[in-house]
Amino acid sequence: MTNRDSETPFSARRDRVAGRWGLTDEIVLVRSGPVLPMAGSDMDHSFQPHPDFAYLSGRGIPDAVLAFDSRQTKWQIFGPRSTPEDQVWHQPADPVGLPLDELEGWIALRSDQNVIEAWDDPKIQSGIADERVHKDDWELSSLRTAALTSQSGFDWVYQNVSAGMTEREIQVGMEAEFFRAGAVRTAYPSIVAAGPNGAYLHYFYGQDDSLNPSTRTLQEGELLLIDAGGEFGGYASDVTRTMVVGAEPTDVQSFLWHLVLSAQELAIDRCRPGQEWREVHLDSARIIGSGLIELGLLRGEVDQLVSSGAVALFYPHGLGHLIGLTVHDAGGYPAGREPSSHPQSRYLRTDRVLEAGMITSVEPGVYFIEALLKDPAVRERFAEEVIWEAVDPLRGFGGIRIEDDIHITDDEPEVLSGDIGKPIRIG
């Protein structure tokens, strides 16, 4: 296609994907996607290309199409051209491939071949996903750089945050360091949650009311949970740290923090080819469950507490997910596997055997989630297993999560975010 391709991995990726498709007589169209208008406005949302298009082309332009003629085993990209009038308002579009208005004629020349829209065809999509789960060197380099941008942000937090700051001040200071270190954007809305807010798994600024977002002032001795990461070259970083700010951790804070850390360390050590991720996840729940028994919050046999959903009251999410062009990346459920209804696994985003080249997050946690703990039906159902008189005083505690990004290799796991400190206390 272009000269760039000789030094870059995109042509090799297209060849491998075409090999997985195994088509002989079809045309496949992989679209980058349109710019989406904001409701009631003449403004547009910022554009992000469909990750399959970005993966195969290395480009991030809207309205572009990557076309594959399987009969000739040939790829062709079509891109929009900007008019002089467009260029009054915007810098000129990079003239990628053939002009988009030639696509129709290109298809007409192949009118005896079926046209497959990649977005509409699960088999075509899983062929791309099966490639995307194994990162090539180009991707690993971007993923490592993304993790470095996150490191700059977390270092800023460790050196500058103290009680009395607002969640918003912390977010702004941290994200500025992501960007100074080269991040193009944040990989997802940063979660900066003080005290009880840490019990919302995906808490972020402006989510409650985009016109009047709330922002808590961090109190001395509260937990601060930060789940954030920079994005570089289209690739995400996804890191969580939890710390007590401005005071020595209490016994319960310290116990639960070390419990989560030990669950994380054991799971990271199992990030190796051949491991069944669902089992690593369930074992992490057993570790958390054993700790909750030891702390006097649960009673019974840990296996039973995991199967019944009692542990999931305090650890309701999955151990981790694949990471790449999207923070929750493609390929979590390969063909033939479906999300489970098991109470401990229903939010598990990945269910597959680990293989070298995959990137996964490892992020166990413990939370005191008001919506679950106050529900009369939940309290009744778990009357035997949960020691409510010990749990209730901890409502408002917030949550603890520790998360790193792991590259599965044939050797030791590579922790991409491993140089980001894990202090239990700052400020």
Residues that bind Mn ion in the complex, under the rule CB under 5 A: 238, 361
Token pair listed for 389 = 């008189």
| Closest to Mn ion by CB, 106 or 333 | 333
Cα–Cα distance for residue pair 4/198, rounded to 1 Å: 45
| Closest to Mn ion by CB, 242 or 361 | 361
Alpha carbon 98 to chain centroid, angstroms = 34
Tell me which amino acid residue 377 is: A
Residues 6+ apart with CB under 8 A from 280: 267, 270, 271, 319
| Closest to Mn ion by CB, 187 or 310 | 187
| Closest to Mn ion by CB, 195 or 229 | 229
Cα–Cα distance for residue pair 311/302, rounded to 1 Å: 8
Least separation in angstroms between residue 349's CB and Mn ion is 9
Least separation in angstroms between residue 202's CB and Mn ion is 10
| Closest to Mn ion by CB, 75 or 178 | 178
| Closest to Mn ion by CB, 146 or 386 | 146
For the chain, how many residues are written?
427
Least separation in angstroms between residue 403's CB and Mn ion is 5
| Closest to Mn ion by CB, 139 or 238 | 238
Least separation in angstroms between residue 405's CB and Mn ion is 8
DSSP sequence for 217-256: BPPTT-EEEEEE-EEBTTB---EEEEEEESSPPPHHHHHH
Least separation in angstroms between residue 396's CB and Mn ion is 24
Least separation in angstroms between residue 129's CB and Mn ion is 18
| Closest to Mn ion by CB, 253 or 361 | 361
Instruction: Give the helix/strand (H/E) hosting 145.
Output: helix 137-160
SS3 83: coil
Token pair listed for 419 = 């140089």
Residue in 322, 344, 318 with CA at minimum distance from that of residue 331: 322
Beta strands in 85-238 (DSSP E): 98-99, 114-117, 185-186, 191-194, 223-228, 230-231
Residue in 268, 312, 274, 281 with CA at minimum distance from that of residue 418: 268
Least separation in angstroms between residue 237's CB and Mn ion is 10
Cα–Cα distance for residue pair 123/129, rounded to 1 Å: 10
Least separation in angstroms between residue 187's CB and Mn ion is 9
Residue 300's Cβ-count burial label (10 Å; 0-12, 13-18, 19+) is middle
